[in-house]
């Protein structure tokens, strides 16, 4: 997708309305229209990049810094009991809007949102998986 056709780029230039809650030189944060809980906020780089694979380190650092600022604001404003951060990267991980964004999700004791459920490794898979990842990192 070209930045000109990108929904979130249109929010950056105010072509599409949004509940913008934070802005700095590199980052915009606005309310997700379909929240897990009220206050669920998306933090995006202003410069278009698709996902965690494409975003450069300076933009990523700015996004993560802003996510922490938003986490504090949600706690103060909404009296949250906790905060989840999430990011879907590529269709295989459920990404729907292909402009990188981090979800900052307010959580409340007893809310119905469910996190993932882990499953145990098969025999030998634990160490083998560690080996594969270490090999990729040492390339
Ligand atoms: P994903 O790409 O899977 O992280 O999902 C995209 C997220 O963007 C969803 O949580 C949507 O509810 C949210 N979203 C889509 N369009 C808008 C919009 N115009 N304003 C705010 N949030 C949006
Ligand atoms: Zn974009």
- List the chain domain ranges: 3-137
pLDDT attached to residue 121: 98
Question: For 124-139, what is each residue's pLDDT tens digit?
Answer: 999 999 999 999 999 7
Residue of 67, 87, 97 best suited for mutating to test ligand 1, as the one with most atoms within 8 Å of CB = 97
If you measure from the C-alpha of residue 33 to the centroid of ligand 1, how many angstroms do you get, rounded to a whole number?
A: 6
Residue 106's contacts (CB-CB under 8 Å, 6 or more residues apart) are: 37, 38, 39, 40, 74, 78, 80, 83
| Ligand positioned closest to the Cα atom of 10 | 2
Q: Is the dihedral of CA 60, 106, 69, 72 positive or negative?
A: negative
pLDDT attached to residue 139: 79
Question: For 42-91, what is each residue's pLDDT tens digit?
Answer: 999 999 999 999 999 999 999 999 999 999 999 999 999 999 999 999 99
Q: Is the overall model pTM greater than 0.85, yes or no?
A: yes
Q: Which residue is it, tokens 């390339």? A: 139
> Into which CATH architecture does domain 3-137 fall?
2-Layer Sandwich (3.30)
- Beta pairing class for 41-45 and 102-107: antiparallel
CA distance 47 to 52: 13
| Ligand positioned closest to the Cα atom of 15 | 1
If you measure from the C-alpha of residue 84 to the centroid of ligand 1, how many angstroms do you get, rounded to a whole number?
A: 16
Question: For 80-119, what is each residue's pLDDT tens digit?
Answer: 999 999 999 999 999 999 999 999 999 999 999 999 899 9
């Amino acid at each position: 997708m070209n930045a000109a056709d990108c929904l979130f780029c249109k929010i950056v230039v105010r072509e599409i309305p949004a509940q913008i809650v934070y802005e700095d030189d590199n980052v915009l944060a606005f309310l997700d229209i379909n929240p897990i809980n009220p206050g669920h906020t998306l933090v995006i780089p202003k410069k278009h990049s698709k996902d965690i694979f494409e975003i450069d380190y300076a933009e990523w650092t700015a996004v993560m810094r802003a996510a922490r600022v938003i986490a504090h604001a949600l706690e103060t404003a909404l009296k949250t009991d906790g905060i989840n951060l999430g990011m879907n990267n590529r269709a295989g991980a459920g990404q729907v809007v292909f402009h990188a964004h981090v979800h900052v999700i307010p959580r409340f004791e007893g809310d119905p949102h469910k996190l993932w459920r882990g499953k145990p490794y098969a025999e030998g898979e634990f160490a083998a998986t560690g080996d594969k990842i270490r090999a990729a990192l040492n390339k």
